[in-house]
Structure 1
Amino acid sequence: MLAYRHGFHAGNHADVLKHLVLTRVLRYLGEKDKPFRYIDTHAGAGGYLLKGAQAQKTTEYREGIGRLWSRADLPPLTADYVRLVQEFNLQPDENGQAPVLEKGMTPPLALYPGSPSIARQLMRPGDSMRLFELHPADARTLATHFGGKNVQVINEDGFAGLKGQVPPTPRRALVLIDPSYELVQDYGKVVASVRDAVQRFAEGVYMVWYPQVSRVEAVQLPKRLTALAPKGWLHVRLTVAQPDAKGFGLVGSGVFILNPPWTLHQELAAELPFLVDTLAQFDDASYLLEEQPA
């Protein structure tokens, strides 16, 4: 588990889907005056240098956020997400200098925000964050950049730590569960963690990301999660690439949400054809969108 570093994959097509959906769910929660808590079980480093050695080794971001970066025809949800990434690229560097742009110009794509940074951009003063990260270097990076009275960075296993976070006070929360799935046991841990959390806090919003890979556990995961959703669910999957010659590789990804915003299905249905066309790496790229209303 500790070998995984998201810097190699930051900004790829899977991040695009995950963070587009995350942005919309957080916007929805922010529409009510009552504060909420964002709980991230696998928070990562919080941000990634796309010109750094890890990202440049794979350059996966070029087939993800890179394909959306300078387009002027983005549909609303995609445009909102891309604006957040652009704003993240306007933050000051280590010398305190922020990029200076003329009006209407797009900043250079140099940084990619992790899920905690997306969340921080959308959270209000009364909202709170709980960020779990087991990798010691990434946990130190999080602790350096995510301070404040309403933020806790916890260098622990997020699967185990989630038990102590639900139900929160007040009883509004979004829980993001997105392990690397490098270990096949992670699939079972996701199901067990969601089952336990829903029993403790049924009204919470739970968002599970998973990779579309050639593993039976990945195929079964959405089906196993449907049985845990007492108040409805939504499942979206984006397939943009082909497996390699041996049948392996990340061909797409999915997001499963328990207690989703009631508008999300309609909103994603309007965006997904554009994302398929824009992110497709082969002719048969496709999407799946299904739901069970509460």
Structure 2
Amino acid sequence: MNYRHAYHAGNFADVVKHTLLTMVVSALKRKDKPFFALDTHAGIGSYNLEADEAQRTGEFKSGITRLLEAAAPPAALDPYLAAVRAANPAGGCTTYPGSPELVRGMLRETDRLALVELHPEDVEVLRRRYAADRRVGVHHMDGYVAVKGLLPPPERRGVVLIDPPFEVKNEHERLLSALRRIRRRWANAVTLVWYPIKGMEPIDRLYDALRTEAAAETLAVELMLRPPVDPFRLNGSGLVVVNPPWGLDRELADLLPWLTEVLAPDGGFYRLETLVSESDLRA
């Protein structure tokens, strides 16, 4: 529970993760029926980029700052950029909306959001921030416990974001266990799993396990700043998308080259791979 996202808010990994999250929520909103969103590692919801933590690392300067300064962003970025600008009505970007704030801003009256946070101070920040919004529930618990305790929801449609701090060695095993539990309890949920990429060995094991289980259509999305040859350095980040909305793979194929050029101009690269396809499920 020592991890504090305030040092990393708005960095390149946040940009990719939150872009994908807003794309998924936008897809859910194409239908009139309500949806439920579960954020298992919610943090504090919003971050001050002028605070000491963010200024000390300056990671946002090579993340959200670059994105806001880039010319002619693709339309797929519109929901994400609109949320960032709404959080900064005076212009610029001194406040960065985390996943709770991004999703809350996209909710309709009938949609719901559950925010789960284990850190005792952070969960109190969330409770104060969203106390007046009846659509948002805040829960003080382990995010992996939440996928059992809060699922399935009454809504048939929705998204689960699993975004852990990776402070424990068995995080990938816990992720796989959580995915299995979500599949049993809410099989048609769109599930996003974020992870840092230092070396590729643990990532390849995760991908192999997902291919072997072949439980649902699954995409892998990576944006790399550099080749992952130094296992002690953050070389990139990735997301697994289980049950991706229709057309998401094509949108990402158009978007990722542009994002990579903006966020990783010095030798960066991306990867978009279907780990489990519809034909795999029929086999």
Shift of 1:242: 5.7
Report which stretch shifted further, 153-162 or 71-80.
Answer: 71-80
Per the alignment, residue 281 of structure 2 pairs with none
Per the alignment, residue 96 of structure 1 pairs with none
2:43/2:123 contact within 8 Å kept: yes
Per the alignment, residue 183 of structure 1 pairs with 168
Matches within 5 A, 1:139-288: 139-147=123-131, 148-214=133-199, 216-228=201-213, 230-241=215-226, 247-283=231-267, 285-288=268-271
Per the alignment, residue 33 of structure 2 pairs with 34
1:229/1:258 contact within 8 Å kept: no
2:70/2:262 contact within 8 Å kept: no
Residues 136-191 of structure 1 deviation map (CA, whole Å, 9 limit, x = unaligned) = 11111111111322221011101012102221102212000010112112211111
Q: 1:59 to 1:48 in 2, by over 3 A?
A: same
Shift of 1:219: 3.5
Separation in structure 1 between the aligned mates of residue 210 and residue 194 of structure 2, nearest angstrom: 12
Residues 46-79 of structure 1 deviation map (CA, whole Å, 9 limit, x = unaligned) = 0100010110110000111111113331111124
Between Structure 1 and Structure 2, which shows a larger proportion of helix residues? 2
Separation in structure 2 between the aligned mates of residue 240 and residue 139 of structure 1, nearest angstrom: 32
1:120 to 104, 108, 122: 104
1:116/1:131 contact within 8 Å kept: yes
Per the alignment, residue 95 of structure 1 pairs with none
Q: 1:116 to 1:48 in 2, by over 3 A?
A: same
Identical columns (%): 39
Separation in structure 1 between the aligned mates of residue 162 and residue 15 of structure 2, nearest angstrom: 16
Let me know the Cα RMSD of the aligned residues: 1.7
2:119 to 135, 152, 156: 135
Q: Which 4+ residue blocks in structure 1 deviate beyond 6 angstroms? A: none
Separation in structure 1 between the aligned mates of residue 234 and residue 18 of structure 2, nearest angstrom: 17
1:212/1:219 contact within 8 Å kept: no
Report which stretch shifted further, 215-224 or 158-167.
Answer: 215-224
Separation in structure 2 between the aligned mates of residue 7 and residue 38 of structure 1, nearest angstrom: 23
2:196/2:236 contact within 8 Å kept: yes
2:147/2:181 contact within 8 Å kept: no
2:162/2:192 contact within 8 Å kept: yes
2:6/2:53 contact within 8 Å kept: yes
SS at match of 1:69: helix
Q: What TM-score, normalized by structure 1, do the two folds share? A: 0.89
Question: Which segments of 5 or more consecutive residues in structure 2 lack a partner in the other structure?
Answer: 279-283
Separation in structure 2 between the aligned mates of residue 227 and residue 128 of structure 1, nearest angstrom: 33
Separation in structure 2 between the aligned mates of residue 249 and residue 153 of structure 1, nearest angstrom: 33
Q: What TM-score, normalized by structure 2, do the two folds share? A: 0.92
SS at match of 1:189: helix
1:241/1:250 contact within 8 Å kept: no
1:184/1:217 contact within 8 Å kept: no
Shift of 1:218: 3.3
